[in-house]
Structure 1
């Protein structure tokens, strides 16, 4: 399938491009960026570009929209641009997007393949309601994606309440999101909009389809989001109340969780690996960035706590979206 990457020179866009190098199912046909980048070789704009794409001439979004000429689009555009672009393209082409604009639409799934693959059925709802040939599939906010992978194997224990404190890497703010002076020797206990996303996206992801929309999970989620001076890799301290469970059974659930193993997806990696002390410096690249590392499981009766670390640009952004597209292809949605 021929694919395009929108926002290809940004941080998430660059990650898309790297992950698509040599992909057996998806062939990059077009790299799309701003007007100021149009006509310039990708390798001149992105110094660490994969060799495969160094000589690609970047095209502007305006020119791309005139004649997309691809079978599938990966979108890393900022939210301010993404909404209209995605709706315009989805009339004919499946869109797998990192942007938040359509995450909260009734008929748009926030997809984490290991957690809620059945939500892909909403793509059929979109097509029927809107007369589209394509559809929109979103991936979650980066911290939500990492959290959701860890919550999925705990559903059988009856999740009642989740409290999470995040320690988020600076790359989550993008190239121009934070000055060095702001983050150096500092922890910033506020990220605009982040806590709302974690609290609401998690419940949608773990919810169920009813009457063509998602009924969110009923458990409570409360989040505090902080920015810390780490380059890549979000770490999260999770405090969870369950209907029943034990540390031994929770560890076993984490270690055995592997729902995509039999599907032979090109980007497949084990979603969870247990390590007693997860740390971004040592564990963010695990499973090419798609594996979430979980550890520090403690508690008794119904109250437990654990720590997770995952790569915000891979599992939390481009890699998750690529895995979404692979699952959709494997299951026959594209």
Structure 2
């Protein structure tokens, strides 16, 4: 039986990725699209300036866009995906949850709230049970689940593999982030062509905090954050898609062989969900990989790529890459939606 889903904020860059990824989904049936009041009432093909590299699905093109309001969407939707701007989402998502809707959100608000699961299905699926705490504390029948920032989600799978095998002491990471991470109008051509922007507002704090919550332990009542020290430097570079990151990690164990480190990453288990890659982490032997243009679409954009693994006196350094609007945004929320379905929350 199909699961009826809707998208909040369907006309933006991440909303368009949701539509692309939901096309021909084996379980989810797209039944509602919402956007701003200016777009409401229009066919989607008129409301959205389509920028994804595949055509708008024919049935979606003619769907009427609705207002982003619980009174304006069907009450028989099983799941909502949210790509709303965080300033809007902070109130709107709670309105929908109070009305009984389950929301898998890519928006940055509430990611660090004590009763909101921040989830990557392959890393911390047990955190999803925080929904029961959320429902008790907030008195609603709906639920709000978040995926992490696109830069955080790029480094967390290899770090989780290292933590499980050897233990983490400290993480230093420098990012080279694609312009699509700022949205279509986020970075002008005059800013980024022949240039690198050595600051992305709020990004470093997201990486330094979200990572500790994701790697933490849930005891049935609350999440105890991981005690690892994290320091991030975030940079915008002139690539379209794909965040490349340079990680320098101190481990609890010293003097490890590169083969041990690579095996820990390669063997880290994935999940059996429709949109998950067969292998979560692909480790390159070629020190010149991964590269954004060459590798961002591995596993249909859902795989994490690692390369340049070298041992250091206190741990390891490596490069990692993920597609920021697929694995790092819409695809991450989609996987969380599939996890919600598998665990009986829909």
Q: Give me the TM-score of the superposition, normalised by structure 2.
A: 0.92
Distance in 1 of aligned mates of 2:125 and 2:59 = 31
Task: Report the counterpart of residue 81 of structure 2 in structure 1.
Answer: 74
Does the residue aligned with 2:38 lie in a helix, a strand or coil?
helix
Picking from 226, 235, 242, the partner of 1:217 is 226
Distance in 2 of aligned mates of 1:33 and 1:175 = 16
Distance in 2 of aligned mates of 1:183 and 1:316 = 21
Distance in 2 of aligned mates of 1:218 and 1:326 = 30
**Does the 8 A contact of 2:129 with 2:220 survive in 1?**
no
Task: Report the counterpart of residue 40 of structure 1 in structure 2.
Answer: 42
Task: Report the counterpart of residue 66 of structure 2 in structure 1.
Answer: 59
What pairs up with 1:61-210 in 2 under 5 angstroms?
61-62=68-69, 64-69=70-75, 70-91=77-98, 92-155=100-163, 156-210=165-219
Cα gap change, 1:227 to 1:57, in 2 (>3 Å): same
Deviation at 1:175, TM superposition (A): 1.4
Does the residue aligned with 1:294 lie in a helix, a strand or coil?
strand
Deviation at 1:301, TM superposition (A): 4.3
Q: Alpha-carbon deviations, 1:144-178, whole Å to 9, x = none?
A: 01111121111120100000000000000001111
Structure 1 gaps of 5+ residues are none
Picking from 237, 248, 251, the partner of 2:246 is 237
Does the residue aligned with 1:37 lie in a helix, a strand or coil?
coil
Deviation at 1:94, TM superposition (A): 0.8
Picking from 288, 301, 313, the partner of 2:300 is 288
**Does the 8 A contact of 1:246 with 1:301 survive in 2?**
no
Aligned length: 330
Deviation at 1:100, TM superposition (A): 1.1
Structure 2 gaps of 5+ residues are none
Task: Report the counterpart of residue 322 of structure 1 in structure 2.
Answer: 334
Distance in 2 of aligned mates of 1:300 and 1:183 = 34
Distance in 1 of aligned mates of 2:311 and 2:79 = 45
Distance in 1 of aligned mates of 2:138 and 2:210 = 24
Q: Alpha-carbon deviations, 1:178-223, whole Å to 9, x = none?
A: 1100000000000000000000000000001246221110110000
**Does the 8 A contact of 1:235 with 1:308 survive in 2?**
yes
Q: Give me the TM-score of the superposition, normalised by structure 1.
A: 0.96
Q: Alpha-carbon deviations, 1:82-120, whole Å to 9, x = none?
A: 011111111201110011111011011110111101101
**Does the 8 A contact of 1:247 with 1:300 survive in 2?**
no
**Does the 8 A contact of 2:32 with 2:73 survive in 1?**
no
CA RMSD for the aligned pairs?
1.3
